[in-house]
Structure 1
């Protein structure tokens, strides 16, 4: 009788388990169906490119089902993106904030990912300015903030502001000082040609210059934006603090009256000239040999003296080449720098190369 009782209990347990699993699977299936149905209800937007240099010029492409909107209301959702400067005229999904592990990134203290995809560090000094990119008609400088704890031989530094020079125009973007950090307060500050720019604190707010040379849009209601300089670059920016955990791990020695709010950025350049230079810019040159070898932990690349500028909007570093409109040959090379004859039309922009 005892054996029979145990068998009955086991049978009942197995039956209950099967019923629970069936209910769980049905719930998952229903949730998946609901999720798919929700995505299907969102109207898929169509995107195009306004640059005549693009294969996608005035060609409308429908966004993927997985990311149907260019500016989703959920700041964590991926957005629809059409890359105007690759041969593949196809809309894809991507995040709207900097990817600190992606090409062109400059994050942390500060850690760069070059155009050759090699990771390196550049320390510099606190309260000084350095040319991250210097090209014939584009200059991007950075202001570093930092501190030097007792017993250290160099400063800990972070990027606090960026200064852009393009053609006759200038633009600055900086992280305002925050004694204590709060996600509810926007710390981004902007100026265009010396005049302050106001950008409303809503995820879909935008600002453009009068001639549309530059466009600024929020990717979150606070502390994250995308900056586009026509025919030159896309820049993804977020403001972040040094957290107590960061301070503990790295022994920065952050004081209690400063969160050291700084920028995390990721650049995407279009048609840099063969003469491009700068802390980051040099890594995009075909002839550049990065001394920071892949896999080397904390590889530091120097050049402080070559790339130091006198201010955030100066192009007076020893290696700077910024001279807009002075060299027609370089302008021509820059205009067609994205064309490639190495693989037929696979890497070019609508051009077939012949010997």
Structure 2
């Protein structure tokens, strides 16, 4: 019984050898050693290949999701187009020009200022009907808003730039400027308000003395106002001055210095030049219904109290100059009007009162001139009838 066991074990050993030989032949000649044959099963060199799929997840970042951000820059590009309509909004600023169309216009009439001469300017909004051009700055300025102005009730702006009022008295004359060779008086008209202790007053006319000459101009009494009708009265050395009612018409004296009077509008507006002495702008204006209502003047169409709005520019005043306006041009002048009140008033009616439009008898008088004080009956403002047919308040007749 022992023999068969030996045969059986030998058969198994043979079978095992055959199996080992067949496995070694299939693993390749390089791995023929029996020592490595046992390790061949774990050597699947194919393990690196599973590692290659792992980098593939890195490919999803490559689609670069920021690329969708490229459409976003497209949105700012239309935005610049939105401001483009905005520049069209300033165009509505043209309406102010339509308002300017309702204002008067003025020109520089001084040929010495070539670049500005005859240029047309629109009056400022705060004085739409009455302005002039400052030829030096070539800008329009309100007639009543710069030094030397005498307007309204009478409102003065002194040579020091300070605004004050001088009421005077109706139907009386007062000295505005008095200097050794220049003297200017003003005739005041007015109306008494029962509720006030003073007259409402306005400057109706002025008389100017210089050298041996006398110049007069004033506003004629008028009822219903019509700006197309000239209400100016002018005279030089007792002779009436006649000006055509056209813009720019001019009258000149034959004496020296040569006095010139020029119309700056067809009616009621002039410039007077006395070379080396002064320049005056004068405009005849009425009291309007609105002014009468606001200030309680009680003005009617029977008498519009036509008066002068004046602007003075002086060229050769001395240190002795005096007068309601004149003294404000002295270098040592210090204003005493109370500037803390709404209407600062300068007194001195007694000091500046004079007996007639060409009298130099005010207490403050400095005038020595070239002619003695003579009767000025022919220049008084009372109504007169002249042989020439001209008559009325402020008209000058020659005897």
Normalization by structure 1: what TM-score?
0.69
From 107, 118, 123, give the equivalent of 1:70.
118
2:367 is matched with which residue: 318, 322, 329?
A: 322
Alignment check: 8 A CA contact 1:188 1:223 kept: yes
In structure 1, what is the Cα distance between the partners aligned to 2:289 and 2:114? Answer: 44
SS at match of 1:153: coil
1:155 aligns with 2:203: no
1:260 paired with 2:305, answer yes
Alpha carbons of structure 1 residues 245 and 323: separation in structure 2 relative to 1, 3 Å: same
Find runs of 4+ consecutive structure 1 residues off by over 6 angstroms. 15-21, 73-78
Secondary structure of the structure 1 residue equivalent to 2:291: helix
Identify the residue that residue 11 of structure 1 maps to in structure 2.
none
Flag the 1:80–1:299 CA change in 2: closer, same or farther, 3 A: closer
**Larger relative contact order (C-alpha < 8 A, sep ≥ 6)?**
1
Q: Give the superposed CA RMSD.
A: 3.1
Q: Over residues 24-48 of structure 1, what are the superposed CA-to-partner deviations in whole Å (9 max), with x where a residue is unaligned?
A: 85997xx9xxxxxxxxxxxx99943
How many residues get paired? Answer: 272
Q: 1:337 aligns to what?
A: none
Q: Gaps spanning 5+ residues in structure 1: where?
A: 1-14, 32-43, 49-60, 82-90, 327-355
Report the Cα offset of residue 305 of structure 1.
0.8
In the alignment, is the contact (CA less than 8 A) between 1:161 and 1:173 conserved in 2?
A: yes
* TM-score normalised by the chain length of structure 2: 0.62
Bigger CA radius of gyration:
2
Gap regions ≥5 residues in structure 2: 1-80, 98-107, 124-128, 372-399
Task: State the partner residue of 1:108.
Answer: 152
Contact 1:209 1:215 (8 Å CA) reproduced: yes
When residues 325 and 78 of structure 1 are mapped into structure 2, their CA distance, relative to the original with a 3 A threshold, is closer
1:1-355 equivalences under 5 Å are 22=88, 47-48=111-112, 62-63=114-115, 67=116, 69-70=117-118, 72=120, 79=133, 81=135, 91-95=136-140, 99-211=143-255, 212-294=257-339, 296-324=341-369
- 45 and 19 in structure 1: CA distance in 2 versus 1, 3 angstrom threshold: same
Hey, what's the Cα distance between the residues in 1 that align with 2:197 and 2:110? Answer: 54
Measure how far apart 1:71 and its partner are. 6.9
The CA deviation string for residues 146-200 of structure 1, in whole angstroms up to 9 with x for no partner, is 0102232211000000100011000101001111111111111100000100011
Residue 115 and residue 74 in structure 1: after superposition, are their counterparts in 2 closer, same or farther (change >3 A)?
closer
Distance (whole Å) between structure 2 residues aligned to residue 105 and residue 155 of structure 1? 21
